[in-house]
Amino acid sequence: MNQQFLTELKAVTAENRIFTDEPMKKHTTFRVGGPADILVQPKGTELAAVIRLCRKYDVPYQVIGNGSNLLVGDRGIRGLVIEMLSKEDEICVEDDCITVGAGMLLSKTANRAAEHGLTGMEFAAGIPGRIGGAVVMNAGAYGGEMKDILTAVTVLDQEGNEKILSAEELELGYRTSCILKKGYIVTGAKIKLKHGEETAIRARMEELKKQRVEKQPLEYPSAGSTFKRPEGYFAGKLIMDAGLRGYLVGEAQVSEKHCGFVINRGNATAADVRTLMQNVADIVEEKFGVRLEPEVKMIGEF
């Protein structure tokens, strides 16, 4: 890594938020992944400065949130990883609208909505991601999606300039948006909800929590639903019907509790997980003629 780049990075971001040779398994819910050359946690306007610095020195960068939908290669990530974090004061509630920073956890945002008697975000309370990633992937669960509640999103373009995009401009679809295609970084979002009763909202959140605990392998590291839902099918049922419940590659396994999840039984490598995913997709396609597409994003060097 260019030493001058590192020197200038320390000038725009506090040194205690810059980490070299940082193991990415500490920053993903799969708990796998090799080291990033540099990981930085910029605050506020520091982000734009970091982006401009990367462009100046031609340093490649990746942006992550909670790492809940990522598989990082065992050889790690060359260049810079930008980890988006937000403080509690980056949630602002006004009437039925919430303005929130991209690094805020969905669970905390949903809980803040409940505190103010705002309904419509209960579906997100158990999703282990942050606002930015949820916008990029149009995260959803139990019949709700981010596109149902988003009104506007603030982003930085590849030059580090700020833009405000309406929900319509985001091209939100099933686990997709225009943000990756255009190379934008989400910095914040505006969410519009409806007034409701906190007791009823909390009850719904508790109901969904119970469903998750009963049906999902939350006791193991994973990246949630591993494959996208094929049109007209359910990925988990296809995998189960293919006889792959409990299928193992190394320490990676198709969950016996929910076949739509690939779990890390303890010491899985990224190679284990990727091989398992490829094998599962191949077997399902051979048996049923349906190709499963990964919902998990793979980054870094395998």
Active site residues: 175, 225, 295
The one-letter code for the residue type at 43 is: K
The Cα–Cα gap between 221 and 226 comes to: 12
Segments of 108-234 assigned E as strands: 118-119, 140-141, 144-145, 150-156, 162-166, 185-192, 194-195, 222-225
| Residues 170/141, Cβ–Cβ less than 8 Å | no
- Work out the end-to-end distance of the chain between its first and last CA atoms, rounded to an integer number of angstroms: 20
Taking each helix axis from N to C end, the angle separating 3-12 and 46-57, rounded to the nearest 10 degrees, works out to 170
> How many beta carbons lie within 10 A of that of residue 11, not counting itself?
10
